[in-house]
Amino acid sequence: MRFALASYGTRGDIEPSAAVGRELLRRGHDVRLAVPPEL
């Protein structure tokens, strides 16, 4: 399954989405994470 995760804010706002994305990757899914360019 493919997932697109979008998160905006500071590093503390984005890290939970990144953790979810890593777990989805570990389970064999295709994941894209969209974050602000300064991060």
Largest CA distance in the chain: 29
pLDDT at residue 38 in the model: 86
Residue 36 is which amino acid?
A: P
pLDDT at residue 12 in the model: 92
**pTM metric for this prediction:** 0.82
Residues with Cβ within 8 Å of residue 18, at least 6 apart in sequence: 7, 33
pLDDT at residue 39 in the model: 76
**Of 36, 32, 39, 38, which Cα lies nearest the Cα of 5?**
32
Q: How many CB atoms within 10 Å of residue 29?
A: 12
| pLDDT tens string 1-39 | 999 999 999 999 999 999 999 999 999 999 999 999 987
